[in-house]
Amino acid sequence: MKKIILIILTILLILGAGGAWYVYNKAFSPNVNLEGKNEQVIYLPTGSTMQNLMDTIEKYNLLQDKSSFEMLAKYKHLDKKLKSGRYVIVAGMSNNAMVNMFISGRQTPVTITFNNIRTREDFVEKIGPKLECGKEALLEVLNSDSIAKKYGLTRENLMVIFIPNTYEIYWNTSAADFIDKMYAEYEKFWTSERRKKAEAIGLKPEEVSILASIVQGETNKIDEMGEIAGVYINRIRKGWKLEACPTVIFAIGDFTKTRVLKKDLEIESPYNTYRNEGLPPGPINLPNASTIDQVLNYSKHDYMFFSAREDFSGYHNFAVTSKQHAANARKYQAAYREWQKKKKKEEQANN
């Protein structure tokens, strides 16, 4: 009898060990089928259920053995703990690794990069498709007076919080939380040192950004931005109108315009700095961090005017008096007329 009991116990131990090995193997062995790829990104929208997850897994044929995954998911109550998000399934993942990832919400963020943005509509067109909230929800919060007030800003100048760079954001971040995240980045940028420089100029941080957007609209030459910023700061301090052509183009909304005509200067808009004193109510583009720093470290000089150089280099001639400025403008206009004549002759020759 003792021998029989010992044999039975041995058999049970073997079966138990075999069962444990089988369960362990099914839980911790690789169970991903990526067909040669290194990874597969999947999206689980807010409110997703276990069925939604399995449908997604089925869509991409992600598992070698679906039943073992479902068994472990059931054991760990994944149906009650599943979190939405953007997940990256990588080659070699086990059932246990996947289930734990979905339970913990350990999703992979999306990388968002933006630059050369002029309007909030441009911004949402670029950013909206990369977030679950989408373009409409994002535009709604950007147009919200209450959201802007939360940060001590206005609806018109709220866009200053978006400083061009590369950011990592969770895909299922709400539109409001996205603004919170960007404002936190904006606050990090505006260090005490930068704030002191803005105060010395006599401008708030958001006003510096607005001025930087005008400077960036005037030139892409970083080594000249400080000098142009100095002209505008001189005008502000003397109570002059800024008379910045880029603000007129923004008011018109035609960004293909390369020259501002006299009739354009009459447009009625708070962004027309030929008609209105002071800075416009908001930025006319999203200025780069380097442009903002050029404004904060502007060149101190007596220049009140600048006009494009006659060599078409993209740089400018600066002047203290309107007489000097008029002479500089005439040089550019003469060079421009000559260029037009030359271009016309070339076109005729080609025809």
pLDDT in tens, 108-138: 999 999 999 999 999 999 999 999 999 999 9
SS3 (DSSP) at 86? strand
Question: Tokens 């067109």 label which residue?
Answer: 125
- Say what the pLDDT of residue 329 is: 95
Per DSSP, the three-state class of 4 is: helix
Superfamily of chain region 30-104: Endolytic murein transglycosylase (3.30.1490.480)
Per-residue pLDDT at 17? 41
Rg of the chain's alpha carbons, rounded to an integer? 31
Kindly report the average pLDDT of the chain as a whole number: 92
Q: Where are the alpha helices (DSSP H) in 48-115?
A: 50-60, 66-75, 78-81, 95-104
Using CA atoms, how far residue 226 sits from 129, 139, 220, 347, in Å, is 36, 33, 12, 39
Distance, CA of 345 to CA of 351 (rounded, Å): 10
* Number of Cβ atoms within 10 Å of the Cβ of 236: 19
4 φ/ψ angles, rounded to the nearest 5 degrees: -65, -45
- Give me the pLDDT at residue 7, please: 57
Q: Which tokens belong to 294?
A: 């050029």
Query: Is the pLDDT reported for residue 184 higher than 60?
Result: yes
Provide the pLDDT for residue 8: 53
Contact between residue 114 and residue 126 where contact means Cβ atoms under 8 Å apart: yes
Query: Has residue 254 got a pLDDT over 50?
Result: yes
pLDDT at residue 15, rounded to an integer: 47
- The stretches of the chain forming alpha helices (DSSP H) are 2-28, 50-60, 66-75, 78-81, 95-104, 120-127, 134-142, 145-150, 175-189, 192-201, 205-218, 222-238, 245-252, 289-296, 322-350
Phi, psi (degrees; rounded to nearest 5) at 324: -65, -40
| pLDDT score of 292 more than 90 | yes
- Residue 28 is predicted with a pLDDT of 78
pLDDT tens digits, residue range 22-35?
444 566 789 999 98
Q: Is the pLDDT of residue 9 over 60?
A: no
Cα–Cα separations (whole angstroms), residue 153 to 144, 157, 329: 11, 6, 38
pTM equals 0.88
Q: What is the pLDDT of residue 265?
A: 94
Domain ranges in the chain are: 30-104, 112-189, 193-347
- Measured from the Cβ of residue 278, the count of other Cβ atoms closer than 10 Å reads 13
Find the angle CA(213)-CA(196)-CA(180) to the nearest 5 degrees: 60
Nearest to 113 by CA among 127, 132, 125: 127
